Amino acid sequence: MRWDIFCQIVDNYGDAGVCWRLARSLTSLHGQDIRIFCDDLATLNLLASGVDETVKAKVDLQPWEASFINSRHPVQTPDVVIEAFGCELPERYLTGLLIAPKKPLIINLEYLTAEPWIVDFHQKASPQTHGIPKYFFFPGFQANVGGILIDPVPPFSEINSKIPVSLQASWSQLRPNTKRISIFCYPGAPLLKWLKDLEKTGENFDIILTHGLLEQLRLSTSQEITLPESIQLISIPFVSQDEYDWVLGQCDFNIVRGEDSFVRAQLAGKPFIWHIYPQEDRAHEVKLAAFLDLYLEGAPQELRLAVIAAMTWAMPGDWLSLLDAWNSHSKAWRADLLKKQADGGLAARLLGFVA
Ligand code: TRH
């Protein structure tokens, strides 16, 4: 089938990250024909860079405006149109669909959440005055919702130990017998205090800071950043999505943020802090609590308390002694997640629904 995915980047990289990952799953794993129309092609290209050319050649990345160039005479009407994260279709594109002889199915692909209410809304119709059928699709963790994106597409089908070229210089700075933590978080996290507190554990840490974080850290303090010798900061460049996935698999602990890195941290099978995107109405707290309910179901009380504390930015000296237990829990969570998504996860469920 032909799919048109519409991706409007509100801010950050997550919207593009999810669209790109979905697109390549649909082509590489399911043989679908994909176009992505994106209002920030540069960001999308950045994420997609470095991927196997055969995969990239199969997904047609187009600027937003390219979607309505042929709206008066649509040459190829798609079978499915995805509005990623509820973005509105360009009017001129929609007009093209209205006069086309064959109508597609429109899917409003929502944000991922572990909240139980999505079960009642998943796959429900969203009747439109224009008459083209439209449905809600909710990614999620429960059995009866849209699932999560569980690719990777080869060559990252296994967590692979070959150091990507773009990371070789950074990786050469790593010290032996040193714990590795990657950090990708929003401004507002008490990062400097958190890093300083690591000293209390008496261990050595190499801290992999994603692109721009060192500068963010400097902005958060009026003084020079001074850290104990046991803590080394390593700032890495912005890397491709595959390479970032690789980084997560190479660390003992990860701090991640929006929806895509959050899922990848879980699939890396490592303990992590989810620095969920803060929302004004505090909806993020409800989302985090819903996830923790699922994630910690059946976990011993001591670990539960440690993980909840860590996820709400308690200092690492308070909970890091439970890292081994958390590590085992992360492996078990990953295995369970993969078992529950054995049907192929989000991409396969989307296909099944459309079919
Ligand atoms: O960039 P994000 O903060 O995006 C978020 C989400 O879209 C969230 O849902 C939305 O509410 C918020 O923005 C406004 O975080 P996320 O979702 O983890 O996406 C980051 C993407 O960038 C992910 O696909 C991984 C990728 N990435 C790279 O490709 N290279 C890198 O070097 C890094 C650090 C990330």
Weakest-pLDDT range from 215-224, 253-262, 342-351 = 215-224
Query: What is the average pLDDT across 57-79?
Result: 81
Query: What is the average pLDDT across 93-108?
Result: 92
Task: Give 49's strand partners.
Answer: none
pLDDT at 62 (0 to 100)? 94
pLDDT at 289 (0 to 100)? 98
Query: What is the average pLDDT across 74-90?
Result: 89
Q: Helical H runs in 123-258?
A: 168-171, 191-197, 213-219, 241-250
Whether pLDDT at 160 is above 80: no
pLDDT at 285 (0 to 100)? 95
Whether pLDDT at 63 is above 90: yes
Residue 313, CA distances (Å) to 115, 263, 267, 318, 319 in order? 22, 19, 22, 10, 11
Q: Whose CA is nearest to atom 15 of ligand 1?
A: 258
Residue 259 designated active-site: yes
Helix axes 259-267, 14-28, angle to 10 degrees: 60
CA distance 112 to 256: 15
- In the reported structure, the alpha carbon of residue 313 is separated from the centroid of ligand 1 by a whole-number distance in angstroms of 20
74 close to 97: Cβ distance less than 8 angstroms = yes
| Residue 70 pLDDT level (bands cut at 50, 70, 90) | low
The DSSP result for 45-100, as a single string, is: HHHHTTS-HHHHHHEEEEEGGGGGTTTTS-SS--SEEEEETTPPPPHHHHHHHHHS
**For residues 164 and 302, which has the higher predicted lDDT (pLDDT)?**
302
pLDDT in tens, 117-130: 999 999 999 999 99
- In the reported structure, the alpha carbon of residue 195 is separated from the centroid of ligand 1 by a whole-number distance in angstroms of 22
Q: Per the residue annotation, which of 15, 115, 151, 245 is the catalytic one?
A: 15
- In the reported structure, the alpha carbon of residue 96 is separated from the centroid of ligand 1 by a whole-number distance in angstroms of 32
Of 3.40.50.2000, 3.30.565.10, 3.40.50.880, 3.40.1620.10, the CATH number of 165-340 is 3.40.50.2000
Whether pLDDT at 134 is above 50: yes
Nearest atom, ligand 1, residue 46 CA: 29
pLDDT at 58 (0 to 100)? 86
pLDDT at 303 (0 to 100)? 98
Whether pLDDT at 154 is above 60: no
Q: What's the whole-number average pLDDT of the chain?
A: 92
Query: What is the average pLDDT across 88-109?
Result: 93
| Residue 159 pLDDT level (bands cut at 50, 70, 90) | low
CA distance 169 to 352: 44
Query: What is the average pLDDT across 170-193?
Result: 96
- In the reported structure, the alpha carbon of residue 224 is separated from the centroid of ligand 1 by a whole-number distance in angstroms of 28
Q: Do domains 2-151+342-354 and 165-340 have the same CATH topology?
A: yes
Q: Which of 260, 262, 291 to mutate to test the pocket of ligand 1 (most atoms within 8 A of CB)?
A: 260
Whether pLDDT at 156 is above 60: no
Query: What is the average pLDDT across 223-245?
Result: 93
- In the reported structure, the alpha carbon of residue 95 is separated from the centroid of ligand 1 by a whole-number distance in angstroms of 32
In one-letter notation, the amino acid at residue 305 is L
43 close to 76: Cβ distance less than 8 angstroms = no
Count of CA atoms in the C-beta half-sphere (13 A) of 2: 11
pLDDT at 138 (0 to 100)? 98
Residue 206 designated active-site: no
Nearest CA to 155 out of 267, 51, 32, 48 is that of: 51
Q: What residues are in contact with ligand 1 under a 6 Å CB criterion?
A: 10-15, 17, 47, 111, 184, 210-211, 238-241, 244, 257-261, 277
pLDDT in tens, 236-261: 999 999 899 999 999 999 999 999 99
pLDDT in tens, 11-22: 889 999 999 999
CATH class of 2-151+342-354: alpha beta
Question: In the chain, where are the structural domains located?
Answer: 2-151+342-354, 165-340
Strand 272-274: give its sheet, edge to edge: 231-235, 205-209, 179-183, 253-256, 272-274
Weakest-pLDDT range from 61-70, 155-164, 173-182, 248-257 = 155-164
pLDDT in tens, 302-338: 999 999 999 999 999 999 999 999 999 999 999 999 9
Nearest atom, ligand 1, residue 261 CA: 18
Q: Which of 12, 39, 44 to mutate to test the pocket of ligand 1 (most atoms within 8 A of CB)?
A: 12
Q: Per the residue annotation, which of 39, 83, 115, 259 is the catalytic one?
A: 259
